[in-house]
Amino acid sequence: MQWEVVIGLETHVQLQTKSKQFSGASTTYGAEPNTQACEVSIALPGVLPVLNKQSVECAIKFGLAIDADIAPRSIFARKNYFYPDLPKGYQISQFELPVVGKGKITIQVPAGKNTEAYEKVINITRAHLEEDAGKSVHDAVEGMSGIDLNRAGTPLLEIVTEPDMRSAAEAVAYAKKLHELVQWIGICDGNMQEGSFRCDVNVSVRPKGTEKLGTRREIKNLNSFKFMLQAIEYETQWQIETLEDGGTIQQATILFNPDTGETRAMRSKEEANDYRYFPDPDLLPLEVTEADKTRVRADMPELPQALQARFTSEYQLSGYDASNLTSSRAVADYFVAVVNAGGDAKQAANWVMGALSAKLNAEEKTVAESPVSAGQLAALLKRIADNTISNNAAKQVFEGLWAGEGEVDAIIEAKGLKQVSDTGAIEAIINDVLAANQAMVEEYKAGKEKAFNALVGQCMKASKGKANPAQVNELLKSKLG
Amino acid sequence: MALNLEDIKRIAHLARIEVSDTEAQETLNKLSGILGLIEQMQAVDTAGIAPMSHSQDVTQRLREDVVTQTNQRELFQSIAPATQDGLYLVPKVIE
């Protein structure tokens, strides 16, 4: 039987605020235990929550960025469960009326072994404001658990998708896109090691062609894209094998173990899942007006989609190039800087997505860490455009820039890469090559087109790659003509 | 909606409240009374009326995003049953 995997994601995005969701305690990461746990964070009796304005604006930004309905009135609810890192006995969240409603995110799924790259729209069900729990430390004292409530009450936006994804690659493409977007609009620092961006992935399988969803298992707290891919692939295979062996899938929360590459059940969900939500009487309904939205919108950067449209219309880039260049704000900024510094847009696009990104990937660097500045790349492109160097030579100059060997013109000089465009010099080379390769000349004259390319190759080789290839082509043609 | 003793035990467990069998029976009677009251109210036609989420007809006031709290760990931990290295200690919990 052919199986189809169905995936939905819930992502906890830590919002970039100075203070907590409902109190004036600091949210700085890595402080000494409980030094940022005020009376609200530790839930002393009688304390009251007061909502953070900044986190509401973050939620509005996200809603605007995914073209979602933003609720004019949303309410907070208590999600009840017992765990020592949740001292109130409930988490303040949103249940029935979340601040952000239905929206859309378009993802680019990269080409796989047997598939072409493609775009897909992922529907967002909702995004709601809530607070984080504290942390438990299990090995500090024998027989006891230590509780650090610094993180308790940290502002989160939980973003929930429809079960729209059909492969691990799509799920990862979505997670990456969302990760870029929340950083692009400046609502999250995106630091996955510190837990600022955590994904829960719901996975189920069903026979291909059927409508009914299978029973899902939820993989908790994935904090790297690599683990997400591994976890989903392992889990999918496990579910398919279990069903094919005549077993059934129990709804469960599961954890991924990066060391073994396997998933295992954490707890069965039936009992733990009864959260008994009810509206929190300590918080009044949250109102978001049109004026609020207008004010927040004015403060937002140009969104990836808008920039993409501008790249295609202003710079005549293909949709594919434009979408690649807007995959992150840093890449887009770099590209625009190259163009503004005088680089040809199409060439700039090719170099940013080609040589530059290949080097960055190989050395696991971000574009912000690139040793080659946008200005240097623009200078290099100018030297290609004015025929000072060939494309091949440009690659060597780029390597030189990367290695910090100096500026573009100095490297061209030092490596002797200047292209020979002097007709006389090129003719001399061609004459030598023709004399030495009479056999090829005969082949060409007998109608073998390939021989011509071989001769061009010989000329380029004889010039040590410095001859202007277009000129070589032209002169050779006229000589053989 | 009718409750039975098992429901009461389950609700008590979720709320981590210990109830004896006598207490469970008493609680069942009281809760059933409340549910009966709600059932009566269900008869009222509320079509077209937005559900009320708060008794006051006002909206949430927002707080500027400023750190106003200082570290009072020592004070707060002076009433905690057990602490070590700045951590609150609780009986071991294992997932």
| CATH at residue B13 | 1.10.20
Residues of chain B with C-beta less than 8 angstroms from the C-beta of A33: 85-87
How far apart, in whole angstroms, are the C-alpha atoms of residue B22 and residue A355?
A: 77
Same-domain status, A264 and A121: yes
Is B31 within a domain? yes
Q: Does B64 contact chain A (CB < 8 Å)?
A: yes
Is B59 within a domain? no
Residues of chain A with C-beta less than 8 angstroms from the C-beta of B16: 82
Same-domain status, A277 and A309: no
Q: How confident is the model at residue B88 (pLDDT cuts 50, 70, 90)?
A: very high
Residue A16 near residue A187, CB atoms below 8 Å: yes
Tell me the residues of chain B between 20 and 39 that have a Cβ less than 8 Å away from chain A. none
Nearest CA to CA, how far is B26 from chain A (Å)?
22
Is A297 within a domain? no
Count of other CB atoms within 10 angstroms of residue A264: 11
Is A24 in Cβ contact with B69 (below 8 Å)? yes
Token pair in block for residue A390: 């060939």
Is A38 in Cβ contact with B69 (below 8 Å)? yes
In 3D, which of A27, A87, A91 has the Cα closest to residue A58?
A: A27
Is A145 in Cβ contact with B93 (below 8 Å)? yes
Is A464 within a domain? yes
Same-domain status, A380 and A471: no
The residue-averaged pLDDT of B7-30 equals 92
Task: Find the residue in A nearest to B93 (Cα).
Answer: A145
Domain range for A326 is 302-415
How far apart, in whole angstroms, are the C-alpha atoms of residue A14 and residue A58?
A: 10
pLDDT at residue B95 is higher than 60: no
Same-domain status, A274 and A328: no
The residue-averaged pLDDT of A225-238 equals 96
Per residue in A148-206, pLDDT (tens digit) is: 999 999 999 999 999 999 999 999 999 999 999 999 999 999 999 999 999 999 999 99
- A-to-B residue pairs, Cβ atoms closer than 8 angstroms: 129
Is A296 within a domain? no
Is B48 within a domain? no
Same-domain status, A380 and A246: no
As for how many domains chain A has, the answer is 3
Task: Find the residue in B nearest to A55 (Cα).
Answer: B65
Question: Can you list the pairs that A85-91 forms with residues at least 24 positions away whose Cβ atoms lie under 8 Å?
Answer: A85/A133, A85/A134, A85/A135, A85/A136, A85/A147, A85/A149, A85/A152, A86/A133, A86/A134, A86/A152, A87/A41, A87/A42, A87/A43, A87/A134, A87/A149, A87/A152, A88/A43, A89/A43, A91/A130, A91/A131, A91/A133
Residues of chain A with C-beta less than 8 angstroms from the C-beta of B14: 80, 274, 276
Is A100 within a domain? yes
pLDDT for the residue numbered B94: 67
pLDDT for the residue numbered A398: 94
Same-domain status, A247 and A191: yes
CA A56 to chain centre: 24
Is B53 in Cβ contact with A75 (below 8 Å)? yes
Is B56 in Cβ contact with A287 (below 8 Å)? no
Same-domain status, A118 and A72: yes
pLDDT for the residue numbered A141: 79
Facing A51 at nearest CB: one of B60, B68, B73: B60
Domain range for B20 is 5-42
Same-domain status, A256 and A379: no
Is A428 within a domain? yes
Q: How confident is the model at residue A272 (pLDDT cuts 50, 70, 90)?
A: low
Is B65 within a domain? no
pLDDT for the residue numbered A18: 98
Is B88 in Cβ contact with A73 (below 8 Å)? no
Residues of chain A with C-beta less than 8 angstroms from the C-beta of B92: 138, 143-145
Per residue in A417-433, pLDDT (tens digit) is: 887 777 888 888 888 88
As for how many domains chain B has, the answer is 1
pLDDT for the residue numbered A58: 98
Q: Does B79 contact chain A (CB < 8 Å)?
A: no
Is B67 in Cβ contact with A146 (below 8 Å)? no
The residue-averaged pLDDT of B63-74 equals 97
Q: Does B86 contact chain A (CB < 8 Å)?
A: yes
Q: Does B65 contact chain A (CB < 8 Å)?
A: yes
Facing A145 at nearest CB: one of B58, B64, B90: B90
Facing B73 at nearest CB: one of A34, A143, A279: A34
Same-domain status, A197 and A316: no
Is B61 within a domain? no
Same-domain status, A226 and A337: no
Total-model pTM: 0.81
* Complex ipTM: 0.89
Is B60 within a domain? no
pLDDT for the residue numbered A168: 96
Residue A277 near residue A91, CB atoms below 8 Å: no
